Amino acid sequence: MTTPDERRRNLIWGREALEELSADATLPQDWRDESAELLGRYPALASLRDSSDQGLEPLQIQHATVLTATRHLFQRMRVSLAITEQRRYSLLVILRHFY
C-alpha cells in the first residue's frame, strides 16, 4: 500500500523529472515539448509540499488529467530505446507510487 508520504514524494519527483525532460536536448523534440506542456499544468511544487495527508487526494483529483498524461508519458519513455538505462530506472522508481 502506498502511503501519503510516498505518493507526495513521487509526485514531486514526477515534477522534477518533467523539468529535466523538457530541457534534455538528447531526447526527441516531441517528448521535450510534451514534458514542457505537462509541466505547465502540473501541480505547483509548493502545493505538493504543503498539502496535508488529507489534502493530497483532492489535489490529485483536481489534477487527474495532467497526472494521468504524465504517467502515460513516463510509461512510453520507459520502454523506449531512446533513453538511458539510468533514466529508465528513474522513471520506474517514480512510477512505483505515482498517481
Read off the pLDDT of each residue in 87-93 and give the average, rounded to a whole number. 96
The confidence band for 98, taking pLDDT boundaries of 50, 70 and 90, is confident
CB count, 10 Å around CB of 45?
Answer: 13
pLDDT of 84 > 90? The answer is yes
List of residues 6+ apart from 75 with CB closer than 8 A: 95
pTM exceeding 0.85: yes
Residue 1 is predicted with a pLDDT of 78
pLDDT of 99 > 90? The answer is no
Given its phi and psi angles, is residue 98 left (phi above 0), alpha (psi -120 to 50 degrees) or beta? beta
Question: How does pLDDT run across 24-78, given as a tens digit for each residue?
Answer: 999 999 999 999 999 999 999 999 999 998 999 999 999 999 999 999 999 999 9
